Structure 1
């Protein structure tokens, strides 16, 4: 990438775990990433922060359900401002698992899917690693 002379780029800073988890609370949609036999897949899902990671719902017979239980996954949430060329990104990584005791979840811990259809399977991606970065305007 080439830049014009005098072009000012923004400053990037690393976010600590506490700030990353706080930023998660301000969003309801993120992207889950996982691998299939055909390669990596990234899909948007509604979520809630849960026990230092994220919790979302999916259908029991789709690709998420087939490829996530007991396998590594990433979950990404961000905010970008095109005008100021700034924003932030949080990445949650861990081994995804299905929540067996859904009735133990409090009502406010249950994500509400926007997509139609039955989404009865709850998936938890624990925050084994929670990292983030913020780009400040230049």
Structure 2
């Protein structure tokens, strides 16, 4: 059951990342100069929240499976979960800050700076998702 929940959350994170990518195609650097963000860009936030919640579920499930496999004590599992959730929160806040910098209306922005913002905005959650999938498969194989 936990494996189905993990992969369901993982594919939810992947689908929301794809949806955010499709919605972003009208902005720079995908189109130059690209449209400027307005109040309608607020629709990105609920989807981003869903994506980061799904990634958080995958991370928590991997941490629980790893702790059970290693027969860690309950207090060690709690400490591990606090550390993992704190790291997840920091990465999520970095992702929101990068999105804000990318979609904000600044007088001096180039296509290359927007490309860096997009690379971080999409690369950070994808890297996190790939890491959790890798750790989940390794944990599953070593059982």
TM-score bucket of the superposed structures, by smaller chain: under 0.3
Decide which structure has greater helix share: 2
TM-score (normalised: structure 2): 0.24
- Higher strand proportion (structure 1 or 2): 1
* TM-score of the superposed pair, with normalisation by structure 1: 0.25
